[in-house]
Structure 1
């Protein structure tokens, strides 16, 4: 593949719902901030009301920041999935794909862990869930 993430995935229904929710939340918080500012003026400059107004606008900034982080993380995970050869396991193992958990590494397993039958069954189950999740359309 080209190595570039597909930005068209951001136009899928679940992403459009996220975009619409973030936009509606920002609009509501801007309106609340303006309302709080008007209340502060009506109460002759009550400092607490001005602080609440600024707090609503800070929430808008945080919402935009987190929305941008979610989108860039998704695009980076697409890029990492495209760069990995098909069928190759991620460096972190089948239960924790590196594209989803960027920055996290698994602790080295001890021989006692690998001989535990319950843990082997659980890891096989996690690998099965991961494979089913990868095959499912978004």
Structure 2
């Protein structure tokens, strides 16, 4: 058991050095923009996962494309617009408010209101049953 513990302790620093960032930028600001965009863009294949977290091949391609576009001097808006044009508004975690994306903005609120309405109706029905009223 001690040998296993020693082996893990000696190999631990080697494992941490194995992970390296493969994207190199000219400035820290470009690297910061890269990280922001990776969190802002959603993987088209994975459900509700940013391209920063996804292991899907399409996310890897998107990360490389974002890095390339940053190096080419494109703005964040141009990069996001490129991916929205290619994959649709779904790819953006902050889609614009348009008739097509209205359900994305209003859906959670409507679901909460519907749930509150159901709970209220169930509570009202329970009170009527407790009072002995006819429940039909």
- Identify whether the pair has TM-score above 0.5, normalized to the shorter chain: no
TM-score by length of 2: 0.28
Larger Rg: 2
Structure number with higher relative contact order (C-alpha < 8 Å, ≥ 6 residues apart) = 1
